[in-house]
Structure 1
Amino acid sequence: MPHVEWRGGTCRVKWWTGETLPNGRKRYESKGGFTDEDLALQHGMDMEYEVRHGVNITNRDGAMPMPEWLDAWYASLDLAHRSMVNYESVIRVHIKPYFSRHTVSEVSIMDHRAFKRHLADVLPSDNSRQSVLAVFSMAMEDAVNAGLRKTSPVERHRRRGKYKKKKRERKKDMPPGAVETLARNAHAVFGPAGYAFMWTMACTGMRPAELYGLTREYCYPSWPGSDLRADPDEADRYAEDMLRYGKGDGLLPAIRVERQVQYKDGGLQFFPPKYESSRTLVVPPFLAEMLERLLKEHESRWVFPSISGGNLRSANFDHKYWRPIADGAKEDEGPRRPGERLALPEVPAFAGKRLYLIRHGAKAWLDEDGHSRFAVESRMGHEVPGVEGVYSSMTVPMERAIMKSQQERWESLPDRLGDAIWG
């Protein structure tokens, strides 16, 4: 039974938490500030009811500081490397500073709303704000599961305020001529590797980190004979790949996406592709020939080396290489391969835009050409949900159709620098 006692003009109620101290005595908690004894007693009875039914949150648990909980929560995660890096950044830069003076139990719905308004002031990108809020939501849901609070302060299934249509990034069509101009600019910046890089991304839709991490072992014409065969469970696939892909009559030229490169512990390391989306990507004849000749011209382990021969990720590709390639550059401005100092033209479809949009354009090409949804999504490294994903598979005719449509795009160009480089 709860115990009520008066102290001055207010009273407090004490109740047993269901726990005992190391010395065997019962552990009590209390709440003060009541001016009505009946209300205080009712509160104590409510607390004992929760103790009996195992749904109580002790003052001690709820008093855990938010920074302490966020550290413990992050340490419990087991995610892909880039996700761990992104979560750590979000917690350190945004969530911890804002909730540094809160305990886990103190964070309310109103605090969550205020946090959203704060993010609107400091983060102009809606995607960035949603990323922060998603991490915060997961941390608070797990705080409920850990018994640190009863409910999450994140509102669900309710809409407040005016409806706002989600803004989408404005994208332009990616005609083959635009890719050719990008490739020419890239050739001026870091040579034949730059030219082949742009056409490879446009034809395969590979993610930038996958292209940075592409090594000879997984590129035509060496693959699949040079496959590292690191997974013993994939023995059947290795055998089938040898019969289906490679250089020779009846075989399909292809790239194998097995890795990406990311920074960890101060250096570049290999990681599985995003969402573990390992996949085989056939390439059209023109690109197969381009890759074969490129690999004969340099000795780097990387298929697309930087100006210095190192990895493009180390060269800060987005800022140092991509911006002059897409936005254009004045004569003698920006990095260039030896002997190339002419001005670079702007590519309107990509000026001011991110490199990743070439991947988007690659998917648009596949859609335009009428390839099956399964073939398109599989090539992009996406999981196809439902029965379609279970029953469908990438067939040789599907792959040949993709190669044919991409070869036709290349041949539709009246003037191609690639013919002069490797013709």
Structure 2
Amino acid sequence: MPHVEWRGGTCRVKWWTGEKLPNGRKRYESKGGFTDEDSALLYGMDQEYEVRQGVAITNRDGAMAMSEWLDAWYGSLELAHRSMVNYESVIRVHIKPFFARRTVGEISIMDHRAFKKHITTVLASENSRKAVLAVFSMAMDDAVSAGLRKASPVERHRRRGKYTKKKRERKKDMAPAAVEALARNAHAVFGPSGYVFIWTMATTGMRPAELYGLTREYCYPTWPESDLHTDPDESDRYAEDTLRYGKGEGLMPAVRVERQVQYQDGGLRFFPPKYESSRSLVVPPFLAEMLERLLKEHDSQWVFPSIGGGNLRSANFDHKYWRPIADGAEADEGPRRLGARMALPEVPSFAGKRLYLLRHGAKAWLDEDGHSRFAVESRMGHEVPGVEGIYSSVTVPMERAIMKSLQERWESVPDRMGDAAWG
């Protein structure tokens, strides 16, 4: 039974937590500030009920510092490399500083609202704001599961405040002529490697990190014979690939998305593709010829080496390479291969835009050409949910149709650089 006692002008209630101290005595907790005994007693009885039901949160548990909990929570996660890096950054830069002097148990709905408002003032990108709030929400949900809180302070199911329409990135149709213009600028920046890089991304839809990490072993014309066979459970796939892809009569030219490169501990490392989306991608005849010729042109392990022969991720591709390729550049401005110092024209549909929109355009092309939804999503490295994803498969006729439509896209460009890229 809770015990109520007066302290000055208010009363305090004490209740047993169900735990004992090392000396064997019962451990009690208390709460003061009540103005009448009935409300204090009722509060104490509620606490004892929660103790009996096994759902009580002690003051000691809720008193864990947020910084301590966030460190413990982060250490328990097992996610993809990029996700771990992003979570660590969100916790260090945004969550810890805001809740520096707070405990896990005292954070309220009002605190969550204040944090949301703060994030809106410091981050311009809606996607960045959502990422920060999502990490905070997960940390609070797990605090409940760990017995540090009774409920999460994150509001859900009800929207409060003024409605704000979600802003979408404005994109323009990706014309083959625009891709050719990008490829020409890329050729001026880093040679044949740049020209083929742009057309490869536009026709395969590979993610940038997957293109940076593409090595000879997984590229036409040597793949699939040159596959590293790193997974013993994939023996059936290895055998089937040799019957379907490669260089030879009846085979389809293709590249294998097996890895991406990311930084870890100050150096580049191989990681599985995003969402474990390993996949085989047929390429149109024009691209197969260019890839074969490109690999004869250099001896780098990377299919698309930088100006200096290294990896494009190390070259800070987005800033140093992509911006002059898309936005244009004055003569002698920015990094250039030897002998190429002319001005680069702007590509209007990509000026100021992200490299990733080439991947978006690759999907739009496939959609426009009426290819199977399952074949398109599989090519992009997406999981197709439901029965469709279980029963469907990508067939040889589907892949040949994709090769044909992409070849037609290339041939629709009236003034292609083509062989001149090696001139």
Shorter-chain TM range is over 0.9
Question: Matched residues in 1 for 2:300 and 2:190: separation?
Answer: 14
Which letter does structure 1 place at the counterpart of 2:118? H
SS at match of 2:193: helix
1:296 aligns with 2:269: no
Question: Matched residues in 2 for 1:113 and 1:9: separation?
Answer: 34
In structure 2, the residue matched to 1:16 is 16
In structure 1, the residue matched to 2:137 is 137
Question: Matched residues in 1 for 2:43 and 2:410: separation?
Answer: 76
In structure 2, the residue matched to 1:170 is 170
Instruction: Give 4+ residue runs of structure 1 displaced > 6 Å after superposition.
Output: none
In structure 2, the residue matched to 1:280 is 280
Q: How does 1:39-50 map to 2 (within 5 A)?
A: 39-50=39-50
Identity %: 85
Question: Matched residues in 2 for 1:34 and 1:388: separation?
Answer: 61
Contact 2:212 2:312 in 1 (8 A): yes
Q: How does 1:117-266 map to 2 (within 5 A)?
A: 117-266=117-266
Which letter does structure 2 place at the counterpart of 1:92? R
Q: What displacement does 1:156 show? A: 1.0
Question: Matched residues in 1 for 2:189 and 2:348: separation?
Answer: 18
Question: Matched residues in 1 for 2:237 and 2:329: separation?
Answer: 46
Question: Matched residues in 1 for 2:42 and 2:406: separation?
Answer: 74
Question: Matched residues in 2 for 1:99 and 1:296: separation?
Answer: 56
In structure 2, the residue matched to 1:327 is 327
Contact 2:208 2:356 in 1 (8 A): yes
SS at match of 1:106: coil
1:335-385 superposed Cα distances (whole Å, 9 cap, x missing partner): 000000000000111111110000000000000100010010000000000
Question: Matched residues in 2 for 1:187 and 1:139: separation?
Answer: 46
Q: What displacement does 1:420 show? A: 1.5
SS at match of 2:105: helix
Contact 2:255 2:283 in 1 (8 A): yes
SS at match of 1:105: coil
1:388 aligns with 2:388: yes
In structure 1, the residue matched to 2:344 is 344
Taking structure 2 as the reference length, the TM-score comes to: 0.99
Contact 2:195 2:421 in 1 (8 A): no
1:106-137 superposed Cα distances (whole Å, 9 cap, x missing partner): 11111111111111111111111011111111
In structure 1, the residue matched to 2:367 is 367
SS at match of 1:19: strand
Q: What displacement does 1:3 show? A: 1.0
Which letter does structure 2 place at the counterpart of 1:69? W
Which letter does structure 1 place at the counterpart of 2:336? R
Contact 2:284 2:406 in 1 (8 A): yes
Q: What displacement does 1:34 show? A: 1.6
In structure 1, the residue matched to 2:411 is 411
1:261-317 superposed Cα distances (whole Å, 9 cap, x missing partner): 000011000000000000000000000000000000100000000000000000000
Question: Matched residues in 2 for 1:324 and 1:378: separation?
Answer: 32
Which letter does structure 2 place at the counterpart of 1:274? K
In structure 2, the residue matched to 1:400 is 400
SS at match of 2:337: coil
Give unpaired runs (5+ residues) of structure 1: none
1:51-92 superposed Cα distances (whole Å, 9 cap, x missing partner): 011111000000111111111110000000000000001111
Bigger CA drift: 30-39 or 390-399?
Answer: 30-39
Contact 2:192 2:422 in 1 (8 A): no
Question: Matched residues in 2 for 1:398 and 1:170: separation?
Answer: 31
Contact 2:216 2:303 in 1 (8 A): yes
Q: What displacement does 1:422 show? A: 4.7
SS at match of 1:18: strand
Question: Matched residues in 1 for 2:362 and 2:228: separation?
Answer: 28
Aligned residue-pair number: 423
Contact 1:290 1:422 in 2 (8 A): no
Contact 2:191 2:421 in 1 (8 A): no
Question: Matched residues in 1 for 2:371 and 2:163: separation?
Answer: 36
SS at match of 2:332: coil
In structure 2, the residue matched to 1:102 is 102
Question: Matched residues in 1 for 2:256 and 2:51: separation?
Answer: 57
Which letter does structure 1 place at the counterpart of 2:245? Y
RMSD of Structure 2 on Structure 1 (CA): 0.8
Bigger CA drift: 34-43 or 339-348?
Answer: 34-43
In structure 1, the residue matched to 2:28 is 28
Which letter does structure 2 place at the counterpart of 1:41? L
Q: What displacement does 1:162 show? A: 2.4
Which letter does structure 1 place at the counterpart of 2:342? L
Give unpaired runs (5+ residues) of structure 2: none
Q: What displacement does 1:421 show? A: 2.5
Q: What displacement does 1:35 show? A: 2.0
Question: Matched residues in 1 for 2:422 and 2:35: separation?
Answer: 89
Question: Matched residues in 2 for 1:242 and 1:12: separation?
Answer: 78
Bigger CA drift: 153-162 or 218-227?
Answer: 153-162
Which letter does structure 2 place at the counterpart of 1:306? S
Question: Matched residues in 2 for 1:372 and 1:149: separation?
Answer: 48
Q: What displacement does 1:36 show? A: 1.1
Q: What displacement does 1:415 show? A: 1.1
Question: Matched residues in 2 for 1:409 and 1:257: separation?
Answer: 23
